[in-house]
Chains A and B, each alone.
Chain A
Amino acid sequence: MDETHVRVSRPMLKVLKMMIERPLVPFSGAEIGRQVDLGSGTLYPLLQRLENAGWLKSEWEDVDPSEAGRPRRRLYKLTGRGQTLAGQALAEVQTAPGVLAWGS
Chain B
Amino acid sequence: MGFLSSFIDWLIAFGAGFFGHVIAHDFCEVTPMVSQKIIEAAASRLPPPIRDRYLEEWRRDLQDQTGALAKLKWALGCVISTWKMRREATLDVMRRTSVEVTFENGEAFKANLTTLMVFHTAVCNIMRFASWANLAPKPIRRLAMQWTVKVPAFRNRQWGPVNNAIVARMLEVWISKKTQLTQITKVTTYVDGEVAGSSHLENGQIVDDELDVDDRP
Contact = CB atoms under 8 A, between A and B. Distances in A.
A57 to B, nearest CB: 14
A14 B102 CA distance: 50
Contacts of B9: none
Interface string A57-84: 0000000000000111110000000000
A53 B43 CA distance: 22
A45 B77 contact: no
B85 A31 contact: no
- The contact size tier of chain A is 20 to 34
Contacts of A44: 54, 58, 77-78, 81, 85
Contacts, number: 68
A98 interface: no
Contacts of B78: 40-41, 44
- Interface of B, secondary structure class, is helix
Interface stretch (B24-32, B60-68, B151-159, B178-186): B60-68
B59 A71 contact: yes
B84 A45 contact: yes
B76 A28 contact: no
A48 interface: yes
A39 interface: yes
B60 A73 contact: yes
A30 interface: yes
B56 to A, nearest CB: 5
